[in-house]
Amino acid sequence: MTITALAPQKRRKGRTSVFIDGGFVFGMDDADFAAHKLSEGMEISKEQLDFLLKKVVCVKARDCALRYLSARPRTFYETERKLTDEGYPRAVINYVLKLMLQYRYIDDARYAKDYAASRFRQGYGAFRIKMELKRKRVGENHIEDALSVENNEINQIKEWVKRKQFNPAETDSKKRKRFIDAMLRRGFSYGTVKEALACDE
């Protein structure tokens, strides 16, 4: 195998893309690149390539994932996208994701439950929470489990009624509609909103 090209990465300063036999194989920090004295036209054996991928590139990708996950919990999809955006090759990404799952740094089931509980406390409805988790590519089964916890949406809406000093019985139709629209944007169903407002009338 031959290193056919070396190119500075445009999106990641301080990193160089390594092309072998005409195809992109991996990106490497300039310090590691210099330490291993790679150059265009250099012949590289499978053993040397395996060493660079496992001992250099995989370690960097693992550290990248750990830094990303230490900031706050992330989903499998978010972590995969981060590593992809950083320019790591597919095989390295798969290895690191497997490692993160093995040690439960990534746990979509736990993420979905914690996320749903937090959003419920913030006054959001189940429909909106479900859509947000879907955008994060959390599995449908994890979402359903997270939303199955006891949550009284009627009481949530009534709390908003009190907070906004909103009196359904004395409010004109335009203000009532604006309030209902606001609740719908927060992810409550129309039927639930109507039921909650009827309780306060």
Spatial CB neighbours of 3, under 8 Å, sequence gap ≥ 6: 18, 19, 20, 38, 39, 40, 41, 42, 43, 44
* Runs of H (alpha helix) within 26-57: 30-35, 46-51
Q: Of the residues 102, 127, 162, which one is the last residue of a structural domain?
A: 102
CA distance 23 to 36: 20
Answer yes or no: do 114 and 59 share one domain: no
For residue 38, what are the domain limits?
A: 3-102
Count of all residues that appear for the chain in the document:
201
For residues 24-52, average pLDDT: 77
Answer yes or no: do 113 and 86 share one domain: no
Query: Is the pLDDT at 29 greater than 80, yes or no?
Result: no
pLDDT top residue among 170 and 19: 19
pLDDT score for 168: 62
CA distance 189 to 191: 5
Answer yes or no: do 89 and 31 share one domain: yes
For residues 128-144, average pLDDT: 92
pLDDT digits (tens, 9 = 90+) for 81-102: 999 988 888 888 999 999 999 9
Answer yes or no: do 11 and 79 share one domain: yes
Answer yes or no: do 7 and 85 share one domain: yes
With contact defined as beta carbons under 8 Å apart, do 106 and 76 qualify?
yes
Answer yes or no: do 13 and 96 share one domain: yes
Answer yes or no: do 21 and 54 share one domain: yes
Answer yes or no: do 50 and 63 share one domain: yes
CA distance 51 to 136: 34
Q: Of the residues 135, 151, 167, which one is the last residue of a structural domain?
A: 151
Answer yes or no: do 23 and 42 share one domain: yes
For residues 130-152, average pLDDT: 86
Number of independent structural domains in the chain: 3
pLDDT score for 134: 94
User: Residue 136 belongs to a domain with what CATH number?
Assistant: 1.10.10
pLDDT top residue among 150 and 43: 43
Answer yes or no: do 69 and 133 share one domain: no
Percent of the chain topping pLDDT 90: 29
User: What element of type H or E holds 20?
Assistant: strand 15-20
pLDDT score for 199: 54
With contact defined as beta carbons under 8 Å apart, do 64 and 97 qualify?
no
Answer yes or no: do 143 and 170 share one domain: no
pLDDT digits (tens, 9 = 90+) for 110-124: 999 999 988 888 878
User: pTM to 2 decimals?
Assistant: 0.66
CA distance 121 to 26: 44
**Phi, psi dihedral angles at 16 (to 5 degrees):** -125, 135
pLDDT score for 71: 92
> 138: helix, coil or strand?
coil
Answer yes or no: do 92 and 157 share one domain: no
